Amino acid sequence: MTDCLTTIQFADDIMPGCRCTTVLWYSDGVDTGDALDRIAQLLHSDMSETSNTSMRIPTPLREAAILAAKELNLAPSATALTTMALRATLEAALTQAALDEHYAQYPETRPKLADLAIAAANLDGNPLAADPERIRRAAAELASVHPDPDPDDVLIWAEARAFRS
């Protein structure tokens, strides 16, 4: 049941208070590594085959999804929107789990806050990317006054410091 409990904790971020009522098919005899490999394989599979499924989701959420799909053009349908969101969630969880396993094996590769902030500057085309040392200083300063800063917070901090000086 450990895997199911993990699922509950993860789902709690999305639907607080929800509880898993179904014992997962892989809960016996499949370790986490095998589960990750299988999830990756499934996400790489041909997605043209579909299944009907009966899921209970909160009614307001369902109505919001229908409206968002129709009026905000987020997806062709509420079902497509649900599928997209589910896929994005699974991909993020899978990648983080794969990275965490990698960091457990090679602890020195776990990125530091400054590394992530530099990557964020690169990806966003932020001019601060040309000055990684400034980002590293900002990361160190911010980490000393903030319990869990985000890489984007570091960039804002570095920009604010540059503005003040």
Partner 1 sequence: MNPLVVLDNEAIQALASPHHPKHQSTVNHVQLLVRRKKRTTAITLVAPTAVRVEVGWDRASPQWAFLNRLPIADAHLDEGSANKAAAIREQAQVSVADAHIGATVQSAPHLDITVLTSDPKDIRKVVGGRPVKIIRI
Binding site for partner 1 (CB under 8 A): 36-37, 40, 43-44, 84-85, 88, 91-92, 94-99, 102, 105-106, 109, 111, 115-116, 118-120, 122-123, 125, 150-151
Q: Minimum distance between the CB of residue 156 and partner 1, rounded to whole angstroms?
A: 15
Closest CB to partner 1 among residues 11, 119? 119
The first and second tokens of residue 136, run together, are 């590293």
Closest distance to partner 1 from the beta carbon of 54 (Å): 25
Kindly give the residue spans of alpha helices, DSSP state H, lying in the chain: 2-14, 32-43, 59-71, 78-105, 113-124, 132-145, 151-164
Output the smallest distance, CB 161 to partner 1, in A.
21
CB of 101 to partner 1, least distance (A): 8
Q: Which is nearer to partner 1, 23 or 122 (CB)?
A: 122
Question: CB-wise, 1 or 57, nearer to partner 1?
Answer: 57
In this complex, which beta carbon is closest to partner 1, that of residue 64 or of residue 123? 123
152/6 Cα distance (integer angstroms): 28
Specify burial of residue 142 (Cβ count, 10 A radius: 0-12, 13-18, 19+): buried
Q: Is 156 exposed, middle or buried (0-12, 13-18, 19+ CB in 10 A)?
A: middle
Is residue 43 within 8 A of residue 87, CB to CB? The reply is: yes
Look up residue 2 and give its amino acid: T
Please name which of 104, 135, 106 lies closest in space to residue 119, comparing C-alpha atoms: 135
CB of 112 to partner 1, least distance (A): 9
Residue nearer to partner 1 on the CB measure, 54 or 109? 109
